[in-house]
Structure 1
Amino acid sequence: MAEPLPSDTEARREPPAFNVPGPVGLLLVLIVGVFLAMSLLPPETVEQAILLFALFPARYSPQALSLYGELPGGFGAELWTPVTYTFLHSGWEHLIANGVWLLAFGTPVARRFGASRFFIFYFACGAAGAFLHVLLYPGSPIPVVGASAAISGLMGGAARFVFLAGGPLGGLGGRGGHSTRRAGILAALADRRTLIFVGLWIGVNFLFGATPLSGVLGVAGQVAWEAHLGGFLFGLLLFGFFDPPRMSPSGGPGNVGYGEWLNRFD
C-alpha cells in the first residue's frame, strides 16, 4: 500500500517564465517610461529637459560656461546629472540595446545584491562613467545621455563571479546557478575567460565608439565609449566593496567550504 506524501512536503514548483528581479524590472520600466514621456513632449520642452538632466562636461568648467552660456539647474544639476543622464536615450535603437544588456547583466547582479545594493552599485557605476568622460573632455558642450555606462558597470561586476563554479557562466555552457563566491580582482584578471570577456568588451566599445561604426547602433551622435569604460572599470575593480559577505549555515562568513573563507577579503 502506497504511503501518502507527508503534509509538510512542498510540491515541486516550476520556475516562472519571466524571472526578472524586481529592481531590474523597476529600472527598465522607469527608463522606458522616461523615454515615452519625452517622446510626447513638444520639442522645446525636450530641449529644456536635456539641458537640465543630461550630462554636460561644460557644466563643470567656469571657462566653458562663460563661453557657451549658463546651463539651467546651477549647482544642483552638477549633483543630479551624473545620475539623471542614465534615464535619457537618443532613440529606440539606443533604448532597446541598453534594455537587452540591462536584463542580461542586471539580473545576476540584482539577485546577488538585493535591491538597495543593486541601485547604489548601478548609479555609482553610471557616475563613475560620467566622471571619466568629464575628465577626458573638460568643457565639452556636447551632452551625454544613456544608461550604457551604468550597465557597463554591471558587466564589469558580473565578471567577478559569473565564471566561477556555480555561477551563470560557470563551465561556459555547463549547468549554471548562483555562485556565492566572487573572484578577487587579481584572480579574476588571471582567469582566461575573464580576460577574454574584458578584452572583447573594450575592443567592441572602442570599435563602435571611436570609429564611424557608431551609426550601426542607431545613435545620433558619437558613442561615449570613454564613459562606458569608466563604468566598466568601476564595476570590475570595486565590485567587492558592494558584495555582501555570505553567511555559512553555522553563522560565519564565507559559505560552507574552506575556499569561501579565502575569498572573504577580496
Structure 2
Amino acid sequence: MESVPAYQPPPDPPHEPILTLPGALTAYVGLIALIHLRVLLPPEAENWTIDVFGFIPRRYDSNVLQVYFPGGAGAKVWTFVTYSLLHANLSHIFFNVLWLLPFGSALARRFGAVRFYVFMAVTAAAGALAHLVTHEHAIAPMIGASASVSGAMAAAIRFAFVRGSFLSFSRGDADAAARVPALSLLRALRNPRVLAFLAVWFGVNIIFGLGSISVGAEGASVAWQAHIGGFVAGLMLFSLFDPVPRTAAAASSRDI
C-alpha cells in the first residue's frame, strides 16, 4: 500500500507591500523631479519658467494697469495646472512627496493612471481658483503641488478608514487595501475618524494662514487657501472618479 502525502494548501499569492509606490505615482514624482532641474538654468531662464508656468493672479486682472507676463493668453489656461509641477526647492518637493506616499499611493492604485492624473489636474485647478479669488491682484507666482496633494488626501479619507483599507487596523495587501468600498460623502462626514482628520487638517492650515508662516523659499508664504480649494474639490469630486462600486458599501462596510 502506498502512502498518500498529506494535503498541502496552495501558497498564498504574493502581496504587494502597502507603501510600494504604484507606477502612476512614481511617474508623477519623477516628472516633478525632472522639472525641478530648471534650477540649473541661468537665473533669467529660471525666472522665465516661473513667469510662464507659475500661477499669477495678476495675470487675470483687467481692472488695473496692465502688466506684461510671458506666455500670453495660453498661460491663462495652462498655469491652472502647470504651477503644481514647479517647486521652490528640494524641501518643498520632499514634504509634498512625504504626504503623497500613503495617500497618493492608495489613490493611484484605486483610480489607475489616467483617472489619477486627471484628478490631480482638477484639484490643482481648484486650488488655483481658490487662490485667485482670495489674491485678486497678487503679482507673486504660486507654485507647488500642495493643492493636488491636499485633494488626494481628501479623496483618500473617503475610504482610508474603512475596515481593510490602508489606514485601518485590519488590512491586507496594497491593492486590496486601496479598493475597499468607499463611504458616501454623508457617511464620511459622520465618521469620527474622518471628522478628527478634517479638524486637524483644517486647523493646521488655518494656523498657517493666520500666522502668515513662511516655508520653502525665503519669504514665500503658504498658499493655504489653495490647499483648502484642492482639499474641498477632492472630497466632493471623489465619486466622479472612483471606479470601485459602492452598491453594497452602506450595508456591508464597517467603519473602524
* Sequence identity (%): 37
Give the structure 1 partner of residue 93 of structure 2.
Answer: 95
Conserved in 1, the CA contact under 8 Å of 2:88 and 2:143? yes
Conserved in 1, the CA contact under 8 Å of 2:19 and 2:102? no
CA distance in 1, matches of 2:133, 2:185: 25
Conserved in 1, the CA contact under 8 Å of 2:130 and 2:229? yes
CA distance in 1, matches of 2:214, 2:220: 8
1:123 shift after superposition:
0.9
1:124 aligns with 2:132: no
Structure of greater relative contact order (alpha carbons < 8 Å, 6+ residues apart)? 2
Q: Secondary structure at the match of 1:259?
A: helix
Higher mean C-alpha displacement, 174-183 vs 185-194: 174-183
1:10 shift after superposition:
6.0
CA distance in 1, matches of 2:202, 2:13: 43
Conserved in 2, the CA contact under 8 Å of 1:58 and 1:141? yes
Query: Which runs of structure 2 are paired with 1:143-182 in the superposition (5 Å)?
Result: 143-170=141-168, 173-175=169-171, 177-182=177-182
Give the structure 2 partner of residue 243 of structure 1.
Answer: 242
CA distance in 2, matches of 1:212, 1:137: 14
Q: Secondary structure at the match of 2:222?
A: coil
Query: Which runs of structure 2 are paired with 1:1-266 in the superposition (5 Å)?
Result: 1=3, 3=5, 12-13=13-14, 15=16, 19-35=20-36, 37-64=37-64, 66-67=65-66, 69-170=67-168, 173-175=169-171, 177-215=177-215, 220-246=219-245, 254=247, 259=251
Q: Which amino acid aligns with 1:82?
A: F
Note closer, same or farther for the CA distance 1:184–1:17 as it changes in structure 2 (3 Å cut): closer
Conserved in 1, the CA contact under 8 Å of 2:164 and 2:170? no
Note closer, same or farther for the CA distance 1:5–1:88 as it changes in structure 2 (3 Å cut): farther
Higher mean C-alpha displacement, 135-144 vs 39-48: 135-144
CA distance in 2, matches of 1:123, 1:153: 10
Structure 1 length normalisation: TM-score?
A: 0.84
Higher mean C-alpha displacement, 217-226 vs 37-46: 217-226
- Gapped runs of 5+ residues in structure 2? none
CA distance in 2, matches of 1:158, 1:41: 37
Conserved in 2, the CA contact under 8 Å of 1:165 and 1:179? no
Q: What do residues 74-109 of structure 1 show as CA deviations (whole Å, max 9, x unaligned)?
A: 221111001110111111211110111122210011
CA distance in 1, matches of 2:149, 2:125: 11
Note closer, same or farther for the CA distance 1:2–1:143 as it changes in structure 2 (3 Å cut): farther
- Gapped runs of 5+ residues in structure 1? 247-252, 262-266
Conserved in 1, the CA contact under 8 Å of 2:19 and 2:101? no
RMSD: 2.5
Conserved in 2, the CA contact under 8 Å of 1:164 and 1:179? no
Structure 2 length normalisation: TM-score?
A: 0.87
CA distance in 2, matches of 1:221, 1:54: 14
CA distance in 2, matches of 1:88, 1:22: 21
Note closer, same or farther for the CA distance 1:204–1:3 as it changes in structure 2 (3 Å cut): same
Conserved in 2, the CA contact under 8 Å of 1:91 and 1:219? no
Q: Which amino acid aligns with 2:180?
A: T
Note closer, same or farther for the CA distance 1:219–1:205 as it changes in structure 2 (3 Å cut): farther
Q: What do residues 17-76 of structure 1 show as CA deviations (whole Å, max 9, x unaligned)?
A: 9621111000000111111x1121000001111110000011111234x34x11111221
Runs of 4+ more than 4 Å apart: 9-12
